[in-house]
Amino acid sequence: MPLQRLAVNSLRNLNAVDIHLSNRINLFYGQNGSGKTSVLEAVSVLGLGRSFRSHKLKPLISTEDDHFTVFGAVHESDLLRKVGVMRSRSGDSLFKLDGEPVSTASALAECLPVQVINAQTFQLLEGSPKQRRQFIDWLVFHVEPEFLSAWKGLQRCLKHRNSLLRRDRIAAAELAPWDLELCLLAEKIDSLRESRIQQFLSVFETLVAEFIALDDLKLSYQRGWDRDTPLQEVLAETIERDSRQGFTYAGPHRADLRIMVGKQLAADVLSRGQQKLLVCALRIAQGYVFSQQTQRSCVFLIDDLPAELDSDFQSIMARWLLKMDCQVLITGVDRDTLESVWAEHPTVDRKVFHVEHGRVVVADGENT
């Protein structure tokens, strides 16, 4: 489901940008600060409702304006779907899909699934469990229709249960209905996650071997409470601690994807270069499983690829991206370096764009 057209106004230094993209490979080159990454941010706004760089809104809006707008035309099957986002300094937002307002960004995500590979991708290894839960749940959300309602139900249940826990005195009978709902939702979410993680791991094991040789690399899904004990029992055992802390300690909101090399965390023992290869393999594998399970493809946004991987591994990544038949937007400073990765695939449709001072134009002499 490629993004065929992208129009951007007043997002960082981008203004009056209106480009038509290749369905496959799109290369954006220009000096640092020219607006290359902002182009990728605009696409992420269409797919996520926000930038992948920051949750802060105001820095995204051009200093002389009070709001930004992003519009996209997405090709889905035989349809051309229109997606639009407006965000203002006051905090007002407007999301539109096919001309009609939608209340949440999840509708945008369903229409335009995006995967991001950039310097922040290292948070998969170095960051908190929340980063890895989001990684797990991206795939589950896009593949399992039941997941979103279960996840929303979990957030509602935790909010009420934690509110009760923060009271000075709480009777067990008051917690009982929320404990019951929490357990039911937990089993549902855990089951959906477990199924998709197993599919992911089978693909990842094959793919990662092409990127990096780590015989003792192991990924394991941690569901958020003891695997051998029903959550109902865990909640009963931890009620005193939960009351002292004012929040529910155990449950699917504590899930994690443990990434180990031998008996140590991968982030603690791998070099920076090895970490780059590993996180790229994680993202590519996720996109590949998504394609397998849905017969759709996500859009890959890859920021400054030459800075993240050397030419050999860029070539490996290129082969996997082509295998998925997905759309890719890649940024870099040097045009020749960006194009060299795709020289061995001359028949693949691609466009090259030059970005300078917030202007984006198709570079001369390119295959369009």
- CA dist 222 and 209 (Å) reads 23
Tokens representing 143 are 């593949």
Region for 251 from its dihedrals, namely left if φ exceeds 0, alpha if ψ lies in -120 to 50, beta otherwise: left
Calculate mean pLDDT across residues 255-282. 91
pLDDT confidence of residue 367: 41
State what percent of residues in the chain have pLDDT above 90.
Answer: 65
State the DSSP string of 12-29.
Answer: TTB-SEEEE--SSEEEEE
Q: What is the pLDDT of residues 114-156, one digit of tens each?
A: 999 988 888 899 999 999 999 999 999 999 999 999 999 999 9
Please give the Cα distance from 37 to 35 (Å, whole number): 6
Give which of 342, 217, 321 is closest to 275, Cα–Cα: 217
Q: The whole model's pTM is what?
A: 0.91
For β-strands 299-302 and 114-117, DSSP reports them as parallel
User: Mean pLDDT for the chain?
Assistant: 90
Q: Average pLDDT in the 355-363 region?
A: 93
Confidence check: pLDDT of 362 > 70: yes
Centre a 10 Å sphere on the Cβ of residue 318 and count the other Cβ atoms it contains. Answer: 20
Spatial distance between the Cα atoms of 339 and 350, rounded to a whole number of angstroms: 10
Share of the chain above pLDDT 70, in %: 98
60-112 pLDDT, tens digit per residue, is 999 889 999 999 999 877 789 999 999 999 888 999 999 999 988 899 999 99
Q: Is the pLDDT of residue 6 over 70?
A: yes
Residue 320 has pLDDT above 90, yes or no: no
pLDDT of the residue at 208: 86
pLDDT at 220 over 80: yes
Please give the Cα distance from 180 to 164 (Å, whole number).
15
Band (312; pLDDT cuts 50, 70, 90) = confident
Task: Find the mean pLDDT for residues 166-181.
Answer: 86
Where residue 308 falls among pLDDT bands split at 50, 70, 90? low
Higher-confidence residue of 234 and 169: namely 234
Tell me what pLDDT residue 368 has.
35
The rounded Cα 252 to chain-centroid distance in angstroms is 19
DSSP string, 159-188: HHHHHHHTSS---HHHHHHHHHHHHHHHHH
Mean pLDDT of 211-216: 84
